[in-house]
A and B are shown apart, each in its own frame.
Chain A
C-alpha cells in the first residue's frame, strides 16, 4: 500500500510537483456580489485535497468552476494541460445530493453503466468496468437493486462507483458525506481512502467538516473571507494508513484541526 508520505506533498507556494490541475487567478461574482477572488493553486497527481470552509463561503461555486459546470468570471482552470470550458473527460463528479443524482428508473448497474454507454464502450467492456467499480465500493451483491431500495450511504457508494467506472484522472466530490449518519460517514471516508490507495486517483473533495478534511487530506485548502480566498494550503503530515480512532487521537491531528479552525474562523 502506498503511504501518505510518498505522495505529492506540494511545494510551499501552493504548487505541486506533477500537477494535474492548475488554477490561476480564479475569481467569480454573482452580479454585484463577489464570491471568489484571486485563487491560485495546483492539485498534484495522486493527491487527495480537501477544500474546507464555512457554509456559504463559496465552496460550491469553486467546485462548479473547477469542474467546468460554471464558467468562472476571472482566471482559468487548466486540467491536464487544457483550459476547462465544459466538464472535461477524465474528470468525474460525485454530487452531494445522491438521491437526486441517481436515476430511479435504472438499476444500480445501469446507473454505473450509463456514462460508459455514452463513452462508446461495448456491452461486455462496460459491464465489466461497472462491475469492477461496484466491487470496489462493496456493492457487488446489489447490482440488480434500484437506488431507492438502498440506504443513503449505499446510494452514495453507487454514485462513487459511477465516478470510478468512468476511469477519471480526478474525482471531484461535493460534500459527498454530508447527508448520511456519523457511522456511515466514517465508513465512507475509509472507503474513499482505500479506493484512492488502490486506484491511485486524484481526489478533490469539498467539505465544511474540518475533522473530515484533516483526516482525509494530503493537503487542506482552507477557504475564508468575503470574497473568499485561500487562507492557507496546509500539508497534513499525519502518518498513513489513517484510522478513525487512532489517527484522530494523535496530538498532531488536534493541532492541525485547531489550525484549520482558526484559519477559516478569523475574518
Chain B
C-alpha cells in the first residue's frame, strides 16, 4: 500500500495503460490517434506472455520432480487434476463466495468510514497537517499484529474478518480522499464563482469529478487489501472461507489441495484488479491516464 498521494495511472500497471484504447466511442467523430501496426506488437506481446508462463510451468514441473519430490510438491498436471476435481464440488465455490463476500462487505465498511473521515481531514489544512503522523502510524501498523487482540474480542467469526479489513483498508481510503480535497483546481473554483454555480452543481459537476480519480486509487488499494485480509483472517482465525480450507489442507499435509486453494486466492486477486481496470475505464474515461486523443 502506498501512503503518498497517487494518481490513477501512476499505480496502474503497464498493461492497464495499454488496454485503455477503446473509449473513443463516447465522441463518435472524435479525433483518433492512429496506432498503425498495433496488431503485430499486440500478438507478439501475447506470445511473449504465454512463453513466460510456459517457462514458469516447466521450472515448477522440474522442481516438483526433483528437489520437491520428498515433500509431496505437486506437479502442474497433478495440480490441474486436483483443481478440476475441486471445481466439481459445491464446497469449493461456496468457500470462494464466503471469502469474496467478506472482502466486499469489509471494503464497503472501509469506504463508509474512510470517505467521510478523509473529507473532514482534507477540508482543513490544519487538520490535514495534525493528522499526518496518526495516519502514517495507522497505515504502517500491520493489521495481522492486531489479530490476537481481535480474536479475543470477536472469536472465529466473520466479524473478525470485517474488523481486520476495516483497520487495514480504511487508511488508503482516508489518505487518498483527504488528498483529493486539496486537488480541486483553484482555477475551476474561480470558474465556479464567476459563473455563480449553485452549491449542488458545484459539488456534482466540479468537486466530485475533480476528487474522484484520487479516491478511486484509494478504493483500488483498499480492495486488494480487503481480499488479502479476508483470506488471512480465515486462515489465522479459523472462520469459514478460502483461508480456512487452505489451513485444513495444510494441516493434513494435502499439498495438492493447498496449492489449488493458494492459486484460487491469487486468481481472485487478479480478477479483482481486472475489475478495477475495467471500472476505471468506465468511470474515468475523461482522465489523462485513460483518455485517448488530445494533449492538454
Contact = CB atoms under 8 A, between A and B. Distances in A.
A87 B286 contact: no
A176 to B, nearest CB: 14
A101 B27 contact: no
Contact of A95 (B27, B190, B206, B291): B190
B31 interface: yes
Contacts, number: 82
Interface stretch (B74-82, B145-153, B196-204): B196-204
Nearest to B24: A149
B137 interface: no
A69 B293 CA distance: 34
B294 interface: yes
A150 B190 contact: no
A144 B28 contact: yes
A147 B27 CA distance: 11
Contact of B187 (A67, A101, A106, A141): A101
B195 A101 contact: no
A96 B209 CA distance: 22
A106 B188 CA distance: 13
Given A95-B187, A100-B185, A87 B193 contact: yes
Interface in B27-52: 27-31
Judged by DSSP, the binding face of B is loop
Nearest to B26: A146
A99 B188 CA distance: 10
A166 interface: yes
A38 interface: no
A128 interface: no
A150 B29 CA distance: 12
A99 B190 contact: no
A100 B187 contact: yes
A101 B26 contact: no
B194 interface: yes
A145 B25 CA distance: 11
A146 B27 CA distance: 8
A149 B195 contact: no
A190 interface: no
A118 B198 contact: yes
A186 interface: no
Contact of A148 (B28, B191, B286): B286
B194 A150 contact: no
A200 B190 CA distance: 26
Nearest to A87: B194
A115 B197 contact: yes
Q: How large is the interface on B (under 10, 10 to 19, 20 to 34, 35 or more residues)?
A: 20 to 34
Contacts of A147: 294
Contacts of A141: 29
A97 B31 CA distance: 22
B193 A100 contact: no
Nearest to B197: A118
Contacts of A162: 195
A237 B293 CA distance: 45
B201 A101 contact: no
Contacts of B28: 144
Given A69-B190, A69-B193, A118 B201 contact: yes
B205 interface: yes
B27 A103 contact: no
A104 interface: yes
Contacts of B205: 103, 106, 114
A97 B30 CA distance: 23
Interface in B261-296: 286-288, 291, 293-296
A115 B291 CA distance: 25
B187 A103 contact: no
- List the 6 closest A-B pairs by CB distance, nearest first: A148-B294, A115-B195, A99-B296, A100-B187, A105-B286, A93-B194
21 contacts: A87-B196, A93-B194, A95-B190, A95-B191, A101-B188, A103-B188, A103-B206, A106-B205, A107-B27, A114-B195, A114-B201, A114-B205, A118-B201, A144-B28, A145-B30, A146-B26, A146-B291, A146-B294, A148-B286, A148-B291, A149-B31
Given A101-B187, A105-B286, A117-B201, 18 more contacts: A87-B196, A92-B194, A95-B187, A100-B187, A114-B195, A114-B197, A114-B201, A115-B197, A118-B195, A119-B196, A144-B27, A144-B29, A145-B27, A145-B29, A146-B27, A146-B291, A149-B30, A149-B293
